[in-house]
Chain A
Amino acid sequence: MTPKKIRWFFILLFIVASLVFFVVYPVPSLLSWQSACASKCFFVLMICFGMCLYRLLRGPTPADRAASMFAMGILIVGFCAILSIPTGRVWYIDIAIAWALQSFIGALAIAKFLEGKGFDE
């Protein structure tokens, strides 16, 4: 067993354990109006957030961190869209639009900053 094989074994174990957890264990809903299907969707999105956080913490260059922040911003849009279904509240989609525009402007600002230019060029 080389170290690489041991690492792959642990990753495979993590994937199988998360799949079993996803199928068997019902995710405890935070609020009483969440349907079961929406809470499963939240679980999948949480896994996506975990992967983005891994790249955000470990990324070797600043551009990696900017990319993962942008991906997390788009994921939050999907989160708000799913949250608006069981509640029936429309203003979650307003939050989604605002968050999309804000993450776009943030990504542009980080890109300008990395490029070494001022903000008015």
Chain B
Amino acid sequence: MQTEEISRQVREFIEENFLFQEEAELADDESLLDAGLVDSTGILELVAFLEGTLNIQVADAEIVPENLDSINAIVAYVTGKLAAAPAAAAVAA
């Protein structure tokens, strides 16, 4: 899957599930935590989405802000995971 497509799907998921102020714009590098958009159950939903829809396995130790706290971070993390597991990527694409 191309990075642009990953980015689109991630942004769409976040906007639909976490972004409630219609006027608000979420920048690609903006912290979801700092913007008050996610809490503990929100991150769980995000992980479930990444595993279910983007077909990667998220280890406990990978559920950290560096990987998941902004759209950019999520896209980079997912891209990295898919590159490391080409067979899974072929199934997902």
A, B assembled together: no
B residues lining the A interface (CB < 8 Å): none
